[in-house]
Amino acid sequence: MPFKPPTDVQVTCRRISRWQGFPNTSIQSKPLIIYHKAFDASASDLAAHFEDVGEVTPQWVYSMYRQTHFHSTTHEVLGVVSGRARLCFGGEENPDRFEPTVERGDLIIVPAGVGHRLLDELGADEGSFKMVGAYPPQKEWDMCYGEPSEADKVTKNIQQLDWFHGDPLYGKDGPVLHV
């Protein structure tokens, strides 16, 4: 079975405090969520599954930028389809940052405002870390870098966002609906 039932998936939830120009989870109080080893699917199969569930629309297959950034116009869903990597959420100098290692089969829900970046690809195959990036329908992601000039726009944008109405991986019920 390419998708484990939600009851069989270990889930990590992490709230990250505001730090400098990065709101992190402070505005909507929704945590960063990782579903560990939730699926065994190729990029195309995961993208098709996202389309079938309908909560998010896949938009790209790529790694993660090495510069800390966040999105103020949408939440982001990242499904790791190859490789392993250590990521940083919250800002690399933030004492409250979170630096998990993620691997193929992990699904990451990144709330709008949470700073994130790639720290290191792990393993012998440099360049093999890839994710399917997906966003709620009709949402366009922006790029924010924690600059003071972004503050008013960022807060307003994030406050206006709805949370998920269904789980991006499981549909009517799943971990994202219970946080």
Q: What is the pLDDT along the chain (179 residues), one digit of tens a residue?
A: 699 999 999 999 999 999 999 999 999 999 999 999 999 999 999 999 999 999 999 999 999 999 999 999 999 999 999 999 999 999 999 999 999 999 999 999 999 999 999 999 987 666 799 999 999 999 999 999 999 999 999 999 999 999 999 999 999 999 999 99
Q: What is the pLDDT of residue 123?
A: 74
Domain 6-153 belongs in CATH node 2.60.120: yes
Query: Do 12 and 51 touch, CB atoms closer than 8 A?
Result: no
Round the CA-based radius of gyration of the chain to a whole number and report it: 15
Tokens of 29: 């109080």
CA dist 16 and 172 (Å) reads 27
Q: What is the pLDDT of residue 35?
A: 98
Q: What is the pLDDT of residue 126?
A: 67
Q: Kindly state the DSSP code that residue 174 receives in the 8-state scheme.
A: S
Q: What is the pLDDT of residue 111?
A: 98
